[in-house]
Amino acid sequence: MSGLFRTILGITLFALAGCNGAAIDSPPPAEVGQAEVVQPIATEAARPAPTPTQVLTPPPPPEPIGPTTFLYDGQLTQGGWIRGQAPGGTVSATLGGQALVLNEEGYFFAAFDRDAGPSATLVARLQDGRTVESPMTVSPRKWNIERINLARPRGKASEAFMVRRRPELAQINAARKADAPSEGWRQDFIWPVKGRISGRFGNQRIYAGVPGSYHSGIDIATGRSGTPYVAPADGVVTLATKKPFSLEGYLLIIDHGNGLNSAFLHNSKIVVSEGDMVKQGQYIGNIGSTGSATGPHLHWGLKWRNSRLDPLLFTGPMN
Ligand SMILES: [Zn+2]
């Protein structure tokens, strides 16, 4: 039994050694008539004589490291997200046709917009030409829709307003596309501040059949202005306005890497500067009511690329 085991083990080890370029270490091919002299050992006899073709063939590529299929975890629902690892040997991967960014170990982040459809598929293209697909169901949410039998308010679309607004939007778009180097996207997010949730993500009013824009973040009220709040995850500050924007007031944007970023609106004070690297839990600003706000609160918006996400699905309920 143990002899058999040794034999199998010996063959296994021999096979492994063969993968590591044994042909280069082997003696040159025996000339005709000398074979019995140079191959006295049984195991040596089992080794196929190297041929010139074998010597010239480059070693096979290393076996890909990683899972054989997609591994992921997260919140598979509208406004939710997934974090996972692509199959070993993945050259490129997509979710719903959108290219994913993989880190060195093949880890990725992806998310589902507030209005995402009921299904999505992860697709990996492997270095050996194969394709691995992982379909998933994205559950719908029951958004709080309020129907109002009045015409939609006209808003501030005057030309005078837009003259001020356009450069603000340009700064916001640039900050959200900064693509800063951060691994904050790999962390479990924490609440920036605790208080009463005074507005939920996704709420929407429909004015006489015409939908208004939905609430793009979560509102947290502590009952007063000036309450400090912290970074929900590591990141890089990509916008810290020096003056209040017309709607957002003092606005702070933090890039968590891999296309994921947080915006904090209506600050009374921002205590970090553009380019700063912040750590999860670090004090970054104070709640206020600057810009378009009816009272002091923190509006926290989360985006992955162009998808708007529900912060509640990153932190879990507030305890
Ligand atoms: Zn809000």
Task: Kindly give the distance from the C-alpha atom of residue 199 to the centroid of ligand 1, in angstroms, as a whole number.
Answer: 6
Task: Kindly give the distance from the C-alpha atom of residue 193 to the centroid of ligand 1, in angstroms, as a whole number.
Answer: 14
Higher pLDDT, 132 or 7: 132
Task: Kindly give the distance from the C-alpha atom of residue 266 to the centroid of ligand 1, in angstroms, as a whole number.
Answer: 9
Task: Kindly give the distance from the C-alpha atom of residue 53 to the centroid of ligand 1, in angstroms, as a whole number.
Answer: 69
In this prediction, residues 261-287 reach a mean pLDDT of 98
- For residue 314, pLDDT over 90 is answered with yes
Task: Kindly give the distance from the C-alpha atom of residue 248 to the centroid of ligand 1, in angstroms, as a whole number.
Answer: 9
Q: What is the pLDDT of residues 35-46, one digit of tens each?
A: 344 444 444 444
- Please state whether beta strands 145-148 and 204-207 pair in parallel, antiparallel, or not at all (unpaired): parallel
Higher pLDDT, 119 or 1: 119
- For residue 50, pLDDT over 60 is answered with no
**Whole-Å CA distances, 133 to 56, 88, 126:** 36, 13, 11
> Looking at residue 9, what is its pLDDT?
36
Q: Which residues contact 305 (CB under 8 A, 6 or more apart)?
A: 98, 259
Long-range contacts of range 90-94, CB-CB < 8 Å, 24 or more positions apart?
90/64, 90/66, 90/124, 90/125, 90/126, 90/127, 90/132, 91/125, 91/126, 91/127, 92/124, 92/125, 93/122, 93/123, 93/124, 93/125, 94/122, 94/123
Task: Kindly give the distance from the C-alpha atom of residue 198 to the centroid of ligand 1, in angstroms, as a whole number.
Answer: 8
For residue 96, give the nearest of 143, 126, 137 by alpha carbon: 137
> Looking at residue 29, what is its pLDDT?
42
For residue 286, give the nearest of 240, 233, 235 by alpha carbon: 240
Higher pLDDT, 146 or 191: 191
Task: Kindly give the distance from the C-alpha atom of residue 138 to the centroid of ligand 1, in angstroms, as a whole number.
Answer: 25
Give the CATH fold of the 71-137 domain. Immunoglobulin-like (2.60.40)
Task: Kindly give the distance from the C-alpha atom of residue 9 to the centroid of ligand 1, in angstroms, as a whole number.
Answer: 66
Task: Kindly give the distance from the C-alpha atom of residue 87 to the centroid of ligand 1, in angstroms, as a whole number.
Answer: 39
Higher pLDDT, 107 or 37: 107
Q: Which helix (H) or strand (E) holds 130?
A: none
- For residue 49, pLDDT over 90 is answered with no
For residue 287, give the nearest of 237, 259, 240, 250 by alpha carbon: 250
In this prediction, residues 71-86 reach a mean pLDDT of 97
> Looking at residue 307, what is its pLDDT?
97
Q: Which residues contact 110 (CB under 8 A, 6 or more apart)?
A: 81, 82, 95, 98, 100, 122, 304
Task: Kindly give the distance from the C-alpha atom of residue 78 to the centroid of ligand 1, in angstroms, as a whole number.
Answer: 18
Dihedral, CA of residue 159, residue 165, residue 169 and residue 171, to nearest 10: 130
Provide the H-helix boundaries in 20-104. Answer: 22-25, 35-38, 42-46, 52-56
Task: Kindly give the distance from the C-alpha atom of residue 296 to the centroid of ligand 1, in angstroms, as a whole number.
Answer: 11
In this prediction, residues 243-255 reach a mean pLDDT of 97
DSSP 148-179: ESSPPP--S--HHHHHHHHHHHHHHHHHHT--
> Looking at residue 158, what is its pLDDT?
85
Task: Kindly give the distance from the C-alpha atom of residue 291 to the centroid of ligand 1, in angstroms, as a whole number.
Answer: 11
In this prediction, residues 71-91 reach a mean pLDDT of 97
- 302: phi > 0 → left, psi -120 to 50 → alpha, else beta; which? beta
Task: Kindly give the distance from the C-alpha atom of residue 249 to the centroid of ligand 1, in angstroms, as a whole number.
Answer: 12
> Looking at residue 209, what is its pLDDT?
87
Q: What is the pLDDT of residues 55-65, one digit of tens each?
A: 677 777 677 78
> Looking at residue 113, what is its pLDDT?
97
- 314: phi > 0 → left, psi -120 to 50 → alpha, else beta; which? alpha
- For residue 11, pLDDT over 70 is answered with no
Share of the chain above pLDDT 90, in %: 71
Domain boundaries 145-315, CATH class = mainly beta
Going from N- to C-terminal start, the domains of the chain cover 71-137, 145-315
Q: Which residue has the tokens 């985006």?
A: 303
In this prediction, residues 140-156 reach a mean pLDDT of 84
> Looking at residue 126, what is its pLDDT?
96
- For residue 226, pLDDT over 70 is answered with yes
Between CA 124 and CA 91 the distance in angstroms is 7
- Please state whether beta strands 250-255 and 210-211 pair in parallel, antiparallel, or not at all (unpaired): unpaired
**Whole-Å CA distances, 259 to 40, 77, 102, 178:** 64, 19, 12, 8
Between CA 234 and CA 280 the distance in angstroms is 5
Between CA 56 and CA 231 the distance in angstroms is 57
Q: What is the pLDDT of residues 201-215, one digit of tens each?
A: 999 999 988 888 999
- For residue 100, pLDDT over 60 is answered with yes
